[in-house]
Amino acid sequence: MSTLDTLAQHGPVIPVIVIERLQDAVPLAQALVAGGVKVLEVTLRTAAALPAMEAIAKAVPEAVLGAGTLRTAADAVAAKNAGCVFGVSPGFTERLSAACNDVGLPLLPGVASASEVMRANDAGHRFLKLFPATAVGGVALLKGLAGPFPDVAFCPTGGISLKTAPEFLSLPNVRVCGGSWLTPADAIAAGDWARITQLAREAQALRA
């Protein structure tokens, strides 16, 4: 069983994490793991992202660490070298898929339409990220995709909250969903790790 196949076994929500300061990386990861959330997607959106991944990989080995916002082959190599065990991309390209395969980094590629699902399928991907989920049709789109793609599972991400996540998670073709609400910027800035642990516990309880 691949790393991607096991992601949903750890819980119903993957936090989409933006780290601005390196010193926040380890305590943030520890707070999420303390709340039962082990799968962590750290996005490549800041200068601190790669050093943060390296720090988490070393200090929080129980975390299942992934790199989000992969866009290029160089991103795939950097994520693998930083200690990540899976990658997530906002969209899909054959070049990125091949690069991740070359370095042994399982990829959860982003799609937003039936045509993109087919392209990703052609490259061997059957577990896909629907992004930006609510903007492109949300639950209604996922229900529509279930008919022609009965063998494809999704991780919807983008615009999902604690309140709306259960509707997504109730769909048979949704394994897990992604959300940024677990790691609010103000809580990270304040070092309010107890709040993040509580948000992690609430997320884990969505599919108890």
Residues 93 and 91: their CA atoms lie apart, in Å, by 7
Catalytic position from the list 80, 129, 167, 202: 129
Contact 190, 24 (CB under 8 A): no
Nearby residues of 2 by Cβ (< 8 Å), 6 or more positions away? 106
Residue 143 DSSP SS3: helix
Q: At what angle are helices 73-81 and 94-103 packed, to 10 degrees?
A: 30
Question: Is residue 41 flagged as an active site residue?
Answer: yes
Q: How many C-beta neighbours within 10 Å does residue 18 have?
A: 18
Catalytic position from the list 38, 41, 143, 167: 41
By annotation, the residues acting in catalysis are 41, 129
